[in-house]
Amino acid sequence: MLRTARRIRLGRVPNASPSPPPHGDPAANLWPGHRLGLPREGPGSIARPGRRIAAISIDFALCALITYAFFFGADFASLGIFAIEQVVFLATLGASIGHLTLGLRLITITGEHCGLWRPILRTALLCLLLPALVWNADQRGLHDVFSGTVLVRR
């Protein structure tokens, strides 16, 4: 009993899922995030597309409301507000307003807080839109791959 509890604390759970495949082999990925050592579901698992799209929709809607209320629908004001919101909230809280609403958080692939430069790079790429539309086997957009981050469930 004590041995099992110690193994669980150290991350070696008996009868657990197979160890993650090497990073260079996406075909061996059993579920999104398996190559990164993340669980299949629950807290710490990769955020699925439905939650990701809903979270960014919440962020876009909030920025559109601010734009129409204070900038009278000025061109590109909404994109600027979106970029500021993303960088400030991701760097300080590890999640945007949409992420917080849907129980998501942004971490590095090593599981640490993402700091400041990663949200800046991620947001710049996200504003280009194309990197967000191209995903890898772990369901991470290119903006997450290039910034070394992963969006996970809380």
Q: What is the CA 46 to chain-centroid distance, rounded? A: 8
The percentage of the chain sitting over the pLDDT mark of 70, rounded to a whole number, equals: 82
Whether 34 is covered by a domain: the verdict is no
Cα–Cα distance, 120 to 138 (Å, whole number) = 22
Whether 41 is covered by a domain: the verdict is no
Residue type present at position 52: R
Count of domains for the chain: 1
Output the pTM of the full model: 0.82
Whether 77 is covered by a domain: the verdict is yes
Running along the chain, 154 residues long, what does each successive block of 10 average in pLDDT? 41 50 69 92 95 96 94 90 97 98 97 96 94 91 96 96
CB contact at 8 A, 103 and 42: no
CB contact at 8 A, 154 and 43: yes
126: containing domain = 52-154
Q: So what's the pLDDT on residue 13?
A: 40
What is the length of the chain?
154
Cα–Cα distance, 128 to 15 (Å, whole number) = 44
Tokens of 34: 């398996």
Whether 94 is covered by a domain: the verdict is yes
Whether 5 is covered by a domain: the verdict is no
Q: So what's the pLDDT on residue 121?
A: 97
Other beta carbons less than 10 A from residue 106's beta carbon: 25
CB contact at 8 A, 96 and 90: yes
pLDDT digits (tens, 9 = 90+) for 26-40: 677 889 999 899 999
Q: Which residues partner with 106 through β-bridges?
A: 151
Mean pLDDT, the chain, whole residue set: 87
Q: So what's the pLDDT on residue 8?
A: 37
